[in-house]
Amino acid sequence: MFNKDSDYYFIAYNIILILDNLKCYEGKSKFYDYRKLIYILPFISNEYLLNIAIKNKKNRENEIKILEDIYINARLREPILKSILFTLEKKGYLTLEKNATRKCIDIQLKNDTLPDRYLNSALFKIESENIAYFKKYYQRLSFITLESLIDKLFKEKGVIIWDV
């Protein structure tokens, strides 16, 4: 009985799962621009929303409205994401690094900070499967720009948004 969209633990777990699934570890690759995470999270935690995001047909009016709500709520939750990321960095689970070229902050999980049983837990089976499915349709998630992700997830689906 909680709102998983604003539950700090749920968001933290899903951030870690996304970074692990995309292999964004120290010494390997980075997740460029942490802000993309807040737009991805709703889709990996809800199969109905995931299906809206990956469908190739024109979206119905009610689906466009759902996507608009996701976009607006994501923008509002960006400070929550930032707070969670700073906490995870302070606890030693990940690193945040300023990217002067892209003018953003990149993320990497630290090696060997999480137990294997955590990342392979059945508790997160649905989210892990949804991440894998999402990344099939939105390739190069760790590299694309925030603007490109927003275009693909929202603008191309019929959502009218203001520039980031």
**pLDDT tens per residue across span 134-155:** 999 988 999 999 999 999 999 9
**pLDDT tens per residue across span 49-104:** 999 999 877 888 999 999 999 999 999 999 999 999 999 999 999 999 999 998 99
pLDDT value at residue 162: 73
Q: What is the pTM of this model?
A: 0.89
Cβ 54 vs Cβ 45: under 8 Å = no
Annotated domain spans of the chain: 8-157
Q: Which structure tokens are listed for 155?
A: 């603008």
Amino acid at 162: W
Residues 6 or more apart whose CB falls under 8 angstroms from that of 115 comprise none
Phi-psi map region of 98: left, alpha, beta (phi>0 left; psi -120 to 50 alpha): beta
